[in-house]
């Protein structure tokens, strides 16, 4: 929902000009706070993803940990067998 700070009211998206200006005062409309994080820069987007930590991220971490753990066990077994 577009919000005009000068008019202090929400605006119908259909009434907002094609250039994103308020039909009443002609001021450029600020994007809604729910959309602005993804629209402003890459740093805030990365921060959001770090906070949310989607499930496939943890799945990938778990997969890497399990894989590396398995390779570590394999390496230890290989070392023990080569020594004795
Ligand atoms: Zn306005």
Residues 37 and 58 in one domain: no
Same domain, 36 and 59: no
Distance 20 CA to ligand 1 centre (A): 11
What domain count does the chain have?
A: 2
Q: Say whether both 6 and 32 belong to one domain.
A: yes
- Are 1 and 33 found together in one domain? yes
pLDDT tens for each residue of 35-52: 545 555 555 555 555 567
- What percentage of the chain's residues is helix, strand, coil (to nearest 5)? 50, 10, 40
Q: Which residues in the chain show pLDDT less than 50?
A: 36
CA 54 to chain CA centroid, nearest Å: 9
Instruction: Give the model's pLDDT for residue 34.
Output: 52
Q: Are residues 3 and 36 in the same domain?
A: yes
Residue-level pLDDT at 58: 93
The rounded Å distance from CA 39 to ligand 1 centre is 21
User: In this structure, are 59 and 79 located in the same domain?
Assistant: yes
**1 inside domain:** yes
Domain that includes residue 73, residue range: 53-84
Residue bearing tokens 């921060």:
47
Please state the pTM of the whole predicted model.
0.34
21 CA distance to ligand 1 centroid (A)?
8
């Amino acid at each position: 929902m577009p919000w005009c700070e000068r008019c202090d009211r929400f605006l119908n998206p259909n009434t907002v000009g094609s250039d994103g200006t308020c039909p009443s005062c002609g001021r450029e409309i600020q994007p809604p706070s729910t959309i602005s994080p993804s629209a402003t820069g890459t740093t805030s987007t990365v921060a959001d993803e770090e906070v949310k930590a989607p499930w496939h991220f943890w799945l990938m971490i778990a997969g890497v940990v399990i894989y590396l753990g398995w390779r570590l066990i394999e390496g230890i077994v290989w070392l023990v067998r080569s020594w004795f």
